[in-house]
Structure 1
Amino acid sequence: MQDTSGPSVKAAIIGASGYTGAELLRLLLSHPFIEVTIITSRQYENQPLTSVFPYFLNSKYQHLVFQSLNLEKIASVDLVFCCLPHKTSFPIIKDLLTTNPTLKIVDFSADFRFKNPAIYEQTYNVQHTAKELFEKSTYGLPEIYRNEIKNSTLIANPGCYPTSVILALYPAKKHNLIDEKFPVIADSKSGVTGAGRKATVDFTFCEINETFKAYAVEGHRHAPEIEEKLNLKVRFTPHLVPMNRGILSTVYFKTNATKDELIQTYEETYRNEPFVRIRKNPPTTSDVKGTNFCDIYITKDEKTGLGIAISAIDNIGKGASGQAIQNANLLFNFPETTGLEQFSWWI
Structure 2
Amino acid sequence: MQGISGQSVNISIIGASGYTGAELLRLLSFHPFANIVAVTSRQFEGKAVKEVFPHLSKMKFENLMFENYKKEKIAEKSDVIFLCLPHKTAYPIVKELYETKKELKIIDFSADFRFKNPEIYEKTYRVSHTAKKLFEKVAYGLPEINRDKIKEKNIIANPGCYPTSVILGLYPAKSAGLIDTSFPVIADSKSGVTGAGRKSTIDFTFCEVNESFRAYAVEGHRHAPEIAEKLELKSVRFTPHLVPMNRGILSTIYFATKSSREELIEVYKEYYKNEYFIRLKENPPKTSDVAGTNFCDIYVTKDENTGLGIVVSVIDNIGKGASGQAIQNMNIICGFPENSGLNFPGNWI
**Other-structure match for 1:325:** 327
Q: Does residue 297 of structure 2 align to residue 295 of structure 1?
A: yes
Cα drift, residue 7 of structure 1? 4.9
**Mapping of residues 100-249 of structure 1, within 5 Å:** 100-232=101-233, 233-249=235-251
The 3 A distance-change label for structure 1 pair 117 and 5 is: closer
Cα drift, residue 23 of structure 1? 0.2
1:339 to 338, 341, 346: 341
**Other-structure match for 1:42:** 42
Amino acid corresponding to residue 216 of structure 1 in structure 2: A
Contact (CA 8 Å) 2:3, 2:336: kept in 1 or not? no
Amino acid corresponding to residue 259 of structure 1 in structure 2: R
Contact (CA 8 Å) 1:20, 1:320: kept in 2 or not? yes
Across the aligned residues of Structure 1 and Structure 2, the Cα RMSD in angstroms comes to: 1.0
**Which deviations, in whole Å up to 9, do the C-alpha atoms of 1:82-119 show, x marking residues without a partner?**
00000000001100000001100000000000001011
Contact (CA 8 Å) 2:3, 2:335: kept in 1 or not? no
**Other-structure match for 1:272:** 274
User: CA–CA distance in 2 between the matches of 1:247 and 1:215?
Assistant: 15
User: CA–CA distance in 1 between the matches of 2:325 and 2:62?
Assistant: 24
Cα drift, residue 2 of structure 1? 3.4
**Displaced runs of 4 or more, over 3 A:** 1-7
User: CA–CA distance in 2 between the matches of 1:155 and 1:98?
Assistant: 16
Amino acid corresponding to residue 346 of structure 2 in structure 1: S
Contact (CA 8 Å) 1:2, 1:332: kept in 2 or not? yes
User: CA–CA distance in 1 between the matches of 2:62 and 2:184?
Assistant: 51
Amino acid corresponding to residue 131 of structure 1 in structure 2: K
**Other-structure match for 1:258:** 260
Cα drift, residue 4 of structure 1? 5.5
**Which deviations, in whole Å up to 9, do the C-alpha atoms of 1:240-277 show, x marking residues without a partner?**
00000000000000000000000000011000000001
Cα drift, residue 46 of structure 1? 1.2
- List alignment gaps of at least 5 residues for structure 1: none
Contact (CA 8 Å) 1:7, 1:35: kept in 2 or not? no
Contact (CA 8 Å) 1:7, 1:34: kept in 2 or not? no
The 3 A distance-change label for structure 1 pair 71 and 3 is: closer
**Other-structure match for 1:27:** 27
**Mapping of residues 81-96 of structure 1, within 5 Å:** 81-96=82-97
- List alignment gaps of at least 5 residues for structure 2: none
How many residues align? The count is 347
TM-score of the two chains, using structure 2 as the length reference: 0.98
**Other-structure match for 2:2:** 2
User: CA–CA distance in 2 between the matches of 1:150 and 1:284?
Assistant: 32
